[in-house]
């Protein structure tokens, strides 16, 4: 064991060490050393070094969390959460960290490993690449690279919502120190660690829909006209696990919840985002239109096909439909056939 580690523990023991099951107290040359499995009282530096070495897992753990881990409260808590520190005793955690402990954060898969005495290294990749060998993935080590990486989805389309479920795949940061890992997560999912931590402490400040809508000005000022039911439809469209990694915590206001199930993301959403506000502007205008009655004659299969098509677009499934899969109502040729049959002359007959 390093002299630096032993010196740190020797000095800290003067005031008493009590952390993750390790207790060390020193009075002059006499040291009381205790772990859940063992305790000993020894005298002299040499005996102290011997007993510390016998409990290397505990000492290593203490050293990391007091000398190497980030000190900012939310960062410290996040790193502890990543390795399951509050629910896994040091003896088990030490063994698990040798092989790597993995957690999900949105679409990220984060793995923390111990890489030496009192050291941790972190790896990040898209969860869809979790079972891939590292070789085909592009490797990065500079957190700044993540900012560029997550700007566009796998098809090169700009991602206006950083927590949307279209994080691109094919990359890995496989050897990051704690601070670099935290910086990378911040580029991928900004402010999610801070808000997660606030929520755990019970002081997440939530701004609800009505307050957000009332604050809008200019072309967005009209969104406060959107009725409550439509706000619910909007949340159901945008704030669900299939579309966004955040868990919606905002409602209509403090007292009036939206009648819409919440998603299950690891980190909270504390206010309607700009994407939802922009969508609200469009639907507010659309909802102002009066309804009209149309008559459209469809066979039962055609009606089912239209429903399938709407569903396929809403679930972003179009790219998965094979060209020759004519049984799928959203198959391109089937849809073109229906368009030719029903809509080639503009609106169908029966418009009233
Ligand atoms: S408002 Fe909805 S879509 Fe926007 S970040 Fe929050 S949960 Fe996601």
Per-residue pLDDT tens over the stretch 58-79:
999 999 999 999 999 999 999 9
Answer yes or no: do 283 and 191 share one domain: no
Tokens representing 218 are: 């200019």
Q: Whole domain around residue 127: which residue ranges?
A: 70-199
Asked, for residue 192, whether it belongs to a domain, the answer is yes
Average pLDDT over residues 326-336: 95
Asked, for residue 348, whether it belongs to a domain, the answer is no
Answer yes or no: do 181 and 216 share one domain: no
What secondary structure does DSSP assign to 112-170, as a single string?
EEE-STT-EEEEEEEGGGTTS-STTSEEE--THHHHHHTTB-TTS-B-SSTTBS----S
DSSP 8-class letter at 64: I
Q: Is the pLDDT of residue 23 over 70?
A: yes
Mutate to test the pocket of ligand 1, among 234, 265, 276, 278 (most ligand atoms within 8 A of CB): 276
Asked, for residue 185, whether it belongs to a domain, the answer is yes
Distance between CA atoms of residues 211 and 44, nearest Å: 65
Q: Which atom number of ligand 1 is nearest to the Cα of residue 275?
A: 4
Helix (H, G, I), strand (E, B) or coil at 268: strand
Answer yes or no: do 155 and 90 share one domain: yes
Q: Is the pLDDT of residue 346 over 90?
A: no
Answer yes or no: do 220 and 323 share one domain: no
Among 181, 199, 217, which residue terminates a domain? Answer: 199
Residue 44 C-alpha to ligand 1 middle, in angstroms? 59
Average pLDDT over residues 105-125: 94
Answer yes or no: do 190 and 176 share one domain: yes
Tokens representing 23 are: 């207790």
Q: Is the pLDDT of residue 349 over 70?
A: no
Question: Among 100, 185, 182, 176, which residue's Cα sits nearest to residue 142?
Answer: 176
Confirm or reject: Cβ of 248 under 6 Å from ligand 1. yes
Answer yes or no: do 85 and 175 share one domain: yes
Answer yes or no: do 11 and 40 share one domain: yes
Confirm or reject: Cβ of 143 under 6 Å from ligand 1. no
Among 199, 217, 234, which residue terminates a domain? Answer: 199
Output the pLDDT for position 118.
83
Q: Are 79 and 176 spatial neighbours (Cβ–Cβ below 8 Å)?
A: no
Structurally, the chain folds into a number of domains equal to: 4
Distance between CA atoms of residues 303 and 98, nearest Å: 57
Answer yes or no: do 309 and 191 share one domain: no
Output the pLDDT for position 228.
96
Distance between CA atoms of residues 83 and 111, nearest Å: 8
Q: How confident is the model at residue 350 (pLDDT cuts 50, 70, 90)?
A: very low
158 - beta bridge partners? 152
CATH code: domain of residue 157: 3.30.1360.190
Give this prediction's pTM.
0.90
Residue with the bigger pLDDT between 296 and 231: it is 231
Average pLDDT over residues 210-239: 97
Residue 195 C-alpha to ligand 1 middle, in angstroms? 13
Confirm or reject: Cβ of 239 under 6 Å from ligand 1. yes
Q: Is the pLDDT of residue 167 over 70?
A: yes
Question: Among 32, 77, 30, 88, which residue's Cα sits nearest to residue 55?
Answer: 32
Asked, for residue 350, whether it belongs to a domain, the answer is no
Answer yes or no: do 63 and 75 share one domain: no
Spell out a b/e string for 292-330, using b for 16 or more CB atoms within 10 Å of the CB, else e.
Answer: eeeeeeeeeebeebbebbeebeeeeeeeebeeeeeebbb
Output the pLDDT for position 351.
45
Q: Is the pLDDT of residue 352 over 50?
A: no
Q: Which protein residue has the closest C-alpha to ligand 1 atom 2?
A: 239
DSSP 8-class letter at 322: -
Q: Is the pLDDT of residue 342 over 60?
A: yes
For the stretch 116-158, pLDDT in tens is 888 999 999 999 999 877 778 999 999 999 999 999 999 999 9
Q: Which atom number of ligand 1 is nearest to the Cα of residue 235?
A: 2
Q: Which atom number of ligand 1 is nearest to the Cα of residue 244?
A: 8
Q: Is the pLDDT of residue 348 over 60?
A: no
Output the pLDDT for position 115.
86
- The torsion angle over the Cα atoms of residues 306, 311, 316 and 319, rounded to 10 degrees, is -40
Q: Is the pLDDT of residue 168 over 60?
A: yes
Q: How confident is the model at residue 204 (pLDDT cuts 50, 70, 90)?
A: very high
Asked, for residue 76, whether it belongs to a domain, the answer is yes
Tokens representing 144 are: 């700044």
Q: Is the pLDDT of residue 195 over 80?
A: yes
Among 180, 199, 218, which residue terminates a domain? Answer: 199
Question: Among 11, 85, 109, which residue's Cα sits nearest to residue 52?
Answer: 11
Output the pLDDT for position 345.
66
Rounded-to-5 percentages of helix, strand, coil across the chain: 45, 15, 40
Question: Among 259, 212, 270, which residue's Cα sits nearest to residue 236?
Answer: 259
Answer yes or no: do 110 and 167 share one domain: yes
Asked, for residue 256, whether it belongs to a domain, the answer is yes
Output the pLDDT for position 74.
98
Asked, for residue 317, whether it belongs to a domain, the answer is yes
Answer yes or no: do 75 and 173 share one domain: yes
Quote the mean pLDDT of the chain.
94
Answer yes or no: do 330 and 252 share one domain: no
């Amino acid at each position: 064991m390093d002299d630096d580690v032993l010196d740190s523990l020797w000095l800290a023991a003067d005031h008493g060490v009590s952390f993750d099951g390790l207790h060390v107290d020193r009075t002059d040359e006499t040291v009381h050393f205790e772990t859940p499995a063992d305790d000993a009282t020894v005298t002299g530096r040499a005996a102290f070094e011997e007993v510390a070495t016998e409990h290397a897992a505990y000492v290593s753990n203490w050293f990391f969390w007091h000398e190497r881990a980030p000190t900012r409260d939310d960062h410290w808590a996040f790193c502890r959460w990543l390795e399951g520190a509050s629910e896994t005793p040091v003896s088990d955690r030490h063994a698990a960290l040798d092989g790597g402990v993995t957690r999900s954060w949105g679409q990220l898969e984060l793995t923390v490993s111990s890489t030496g005495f009192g050291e941790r290294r972190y790896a990040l990749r898209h969860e869809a690449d979790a079972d891939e060998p590292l070789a085909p993935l592009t490797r990065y080590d500079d957190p700044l690279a993540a900012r560029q990486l997550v700007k566009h989805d796998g098809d090169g389309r700009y991602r206006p919502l950083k927590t949307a479920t279209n994080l691109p795949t094919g990359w890995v940061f496989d050897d990051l120190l704690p601070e670099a890992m935290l910086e990378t997560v911040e580029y991928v999912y900004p402010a999610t660690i801070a808000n997660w931590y606030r929520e755990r402490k019970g002081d997440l400040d939530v701004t609800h829909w009505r307050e957000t809508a009332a604050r809008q000005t200019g072309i967005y000022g009209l969104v406060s006209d959107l009725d409550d039911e439509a706000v619910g439809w909007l949340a159901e469209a945008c704030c669900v696990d299939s579309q966004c990694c955040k868990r919606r915590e905002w409602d209509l206001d403090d007292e009036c919840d939206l009648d819409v199930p919440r998603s299950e993301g690891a980190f909270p959403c504390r206010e309607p985002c700009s994407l939802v506000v922009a969508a609200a502007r469009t639907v507010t205008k659309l909802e102002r239109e009066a309804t009209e009655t149309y008559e459209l004659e469809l066979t039962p299969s055609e009606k089912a096909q239209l429903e399938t098509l709407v569903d396929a677009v809403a679930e972003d499934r179009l790219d998965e439909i094979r060209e020759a899969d004519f049984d799928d109502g959203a198959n391109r040729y089937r849809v073109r056939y229906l368009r030719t049959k029903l809509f080639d002359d503009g609106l169908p007959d029966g418009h009233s």
